[in-house]
Amino acid sequence: MFEACRVSDLPPGESVRIEAHVPIAVFNVEGDLYAIDDTCTHQDASLAEGWVEDCRVECPLHAAAFDLRTGLPCGLPAKRPVRTYPVQVADGTIYIETEAQEVA
């Protein structure tokens, strides 16, 4: 598990890119925190720079969308999921589990 950022640094509706073993995007969706691989599986674009709506992030490059809860693609052109990571909060700090959860 590693420290991502302070909860106060990630207000609702915002996201942040964290440099880890692979880049990870952390999202605050109405107080719920989600972490996924930051790189879109369709093309090399940062999902942290995308648009979030209804617990989905839309890639800023070609509008591929991913469910933040599962990592599954919600629409073309992406066909492969992104990995998700368990998130924990302790003492106002967001921590990301290093073991990704992959969808089969």
Count the domains in the chain: 1
Task: Give the residue numbers spanning the domain of 34.
Answer: 2-96
> Tell me, what CATH number does 15's domain have?
2.102.10.10
Place of tokens 């106060």: 8
Give, as one character, the DSSP assignment of residue 83.
P
pTM above 0.85, yes or no: yes
Dig out the tokens for 84 from the structure: 């998700």
In a domain, 101, yes or no: no
User: What distance in Å separates the CA atoms of residue 5 and residue 3, rounded to the nearest whole number?
Assistant: 6
For residue 103, tell me if it sits in a domain. no
Domain-embedded: residue 104: no
In a domain, 59, yes or no: yes
Residue 50 falls inside a structural domain: yes
| Cβ-contact 59, 7 below 8 angstroms | no
First to last CA, the chain: 23
User: 26-42: per-residue pLDDT in tens?
Assistant: 999 999 999 999 999 99
Are the beta carbons of 24 and 96 closer than 8 angstroms?
Answer: yes
Each residue's pLDDT tens digit, 45-66: 999 999 999 999 999 999 999 9
